[in-house]
A and B are shown apart, each in its own frame.
Chain A
């Protein structure tokens, strides 16, 4: 099934550094979303970027979307220990039943070392 794929699977950085995570997907999308999950908790929506947008900012987050390459990146600037979590990209696609499904990649596990 359609699924985004994050890269790298794991990332370890020092506090204050920037963290960049990438997502690739397979078919055309309406929008792409990024979510965050603290260990064993529910996912929390971070940002949504539509297929006709190229870049979006929200606080320390910057998301880019390149539909020609079917890829997106999430940049977290000036990282903090509290940013330690798993980050997932989610893409929607039109299923055979005529409705949209939101599918998630397996995530990037980010560790920010104080």
Chain B
């Protein structure tokens, strides 16, 4: 058990809909990362937050947004969903080191299926 909790584990929805994925980092971790894993694209970095502030942005679509709340949990919002958004969405957290990228602790993922 990594200590990172993601909900929901599975989600099935229709094109055009909006969903919210939730992540609780390990106790004491200040950084939260979101990754998307699909068969054709592999593991793609979406976005990182550190202590409530956006730190780095990767291949995140404009239809997607995220935030980290004062209690350090994070939410990833996916809107106007398309079939191609079907993927495993992972949240990861890391310790208080602001500058570098040490070990990441991954949740079990949220599997999104868009029909």
A and B interact physically: yes
Interface residues, chain A, CB within 8 Å of chain B?
1, 3, 30-31, 33, 35, 40-45, 48, 88, 90, 92, 95, 97, 99-107
Interface size on B, residues (CB 8 A): 28
Contact A42–B90 (Cβ < 8 Å): yes
The interface residues of chain B lying within 8 Å CB-to-CB of A104 are 35, 42-43, 45
Task: Tell me the total A-B contact number using a CB cutoff of 8 A.
Answer: 73
B27 is an interface residue with CB less than 8 A from chain A: no
Contact B100–A30 (Cβ < 8 Å): yes
Residue of B2, B35, B56 touching A100 (CB-CB under 8 A) = B56
Report whether over half of chain A's contact residues are helix, strand or loop; otherwise say mixed: strand
The interface residues of chain A lying within 8 Å CB-to-CB of B2 are 42, 44
The interface residues of chain A lying within 8 Å CB-to-CB of B104 are 33, 35, 43, 45, 90, 102
B55 is an interface residue with CB less than 8 A from chain A: yes
Report the separation of the CA atoms of residues A103 and B33 in the bound assembly, to the nearest whole angstrom: 11
B109 is an interface residue with CB less than 8 A from chain A: yes
Report the separation of the CA atoms of residues A95 and B54 in the bound assembly, to the nearest whole angstrom: 13
